[in-house]
Chain A
Amino acid sequence: MRKLPYILPMLLLVLLAGCDKPESDLPVNTRLGGEFTLTDQDGQPYTHADLKGQVSVLFFGYTHCPDICPAVLARVAQVYRQLDEAGEAEGFQPVFITFDPERDTAEHLKQYLPWFKADMIGLTGSLEQIRQVAEQYGVVFIKGQEEQDYLFTHSDYIYLLDDQARVRKLYPADFKIDEVINDAKSLL
C-alpha cells in the first residue's frame, strides 16, 4: 500500500500520454510546396494558406486526359469515400490542380468534379499561376502540338500534405489505396 502514492501519478501520466495523437513518422519534405494563388471551381481565390488546417491529397492533371488522370481521380475518390464510410473523412481534402486552364475553367471543373463524389476542390488559374505552382511541386507538363484535342505529356505524382500544408509523402499514379488511407489517418 505504501507504493500507491507513486504508482497513481505514473498511471495518470501513462493515461494522459495515451490521449495524445500519435506523431506520424512521415518525414516533412521541405523542398516541395510554397505560396500560390489559384482559383477554385466556384471562382474564388484559393491560396496555399487554404490548404492549412486539413490533410490534403494534392494532384495535378487535366479533365480531357483519357487514361491516367481519370484513373487517378477515381482512386483518390475511393480514398475519400473509404475514409468517409469509416467516419474519418473530416479534415481530409482531395485537391485537383489542372494544368489545362484553357479548357479546365472554373465552370468546367464545377461540372466535372462532383461526379466523383469526393468533395473535391478543383483549382485553375492563369497559365503563369499554374506554371508557378507546378514548379513548386516539381510537376512537368508539356502541351501537345495538336490544335484540337491536344494532350499533355506530364508527371503524375500524388502528394499527401499535412495540416500545415507541408508535403509528407509522394505516391505514383497507381498508388495503393490502403497505403494512402493509412498515411492520411496518421496525419488526421
Chain B
Amino acid sequence: MRKAFFKGLLGGLLVLAGQGHAGEIETLEVKDAWLRAAPPVASSMAGYLTITNAGAQPRTVVGITSDFAGHVMLHETVTREDGTRAMRHLHRLTVAPGETVTLAPGGKHLMFMDLKRVPGEGETVQICFDMEVSTDCEAFPVRKAAPSDH
C-alpha cells in the first residue's frame, strides 16, 4: 500500500523554491506506517514508517505532533562498539531526492511521550509532520506486532 504523502507540501515548496515545473511530481510517499500497541499504563510508544522522496528537492521533517502525546521525538537506536544499544535524538530528518528512509524497530523511530492516552490495538491515529513549509498528517494503525513478526 503506497500512498501519496504530504500532498500539502507540494504547493508550498514550489512557491518557496520557485523552481517547480508544470507536471513535475513532487511528493513524499509513505508506506508501512504503524504504531506499536502498548499496555494502558505505558509511558511511551514508538511509531514506524518508510518515507520516499520522489521529488527533486530535499524534504526535512522538523517536528511531529499527535493528539495523544504531549511530546514526540525522532530517535534512533544505535548499536555501540561494545554491543550495547543507545538512543540518539535526531533533531530533524532530511530525505534527499530519490532517497527512501526507513523507520523500523531497532533503528530510527518516532517516540511518543507524555501520553494523554494509550491508543489501543486496532485503532488508527493521526500523526502530523511539520515539514518547515507545511504540515501534513498520516494515519498510523496501532498494531501489537511488527508486520515482520508474523
Residues in A lying within 8 Å of B, measured CB to CB = 63-68, 70-71, 74-75, 78, 103, 108, 111-113, 115-116, 140, 142, 144, 149, 151, 153-156, 173-174, 177
Given contacts A108-B41, A112-B41, A153-B84, contact A67 B113 (CB under 8 A): no
Residues in B lying within 8 Å of A, measured CB to CB = 36, 38-46, 75, 77, 80, 82-87, 105-106, 109, 111-113, 144-146, 149
Q: How far is the CB of A45 from chain B (nearest CB, A)?
A: 24
CA–CA, A155 and B86, complex, Å: 9
**19 A-B residue pairings within 8 Å (CB atoms):** A63-B42, A65-B44, A66-B113, A67-B75, A67-B87, A67-B109, A71-B36, A71-B105, A74-B36, A74-B149, A75-B145, A75-B149, A115-B38, A115-B39, A116-B39, A149-B44, A153-B87, A173-B106, A174-B105
Interfacial chain B residues near A111, Cβ < 8 Å: 39, 41
Interfacial chain B residues near A115, Cβ < 8 Å: 38-40
Given contacts A66-B111, A75-B149, contact A140 B45 (CB under 8 A): no
Contact of B84 with A140 in the complex, beta carbons under 8 Å: yes
Contact of B109 with A140 in the complex, beta carbons under 8 Å: no
Q: Sorted from nearest, which 7 A-B pairs have the closest CB atoms?
A: A115-B39, A153-B86, A66-B44, A66-B46, A71-B105, A66-B111, A111-B41
Interfacial chain A residues near B42, Cβ < 8 Å: 63, 70, 112
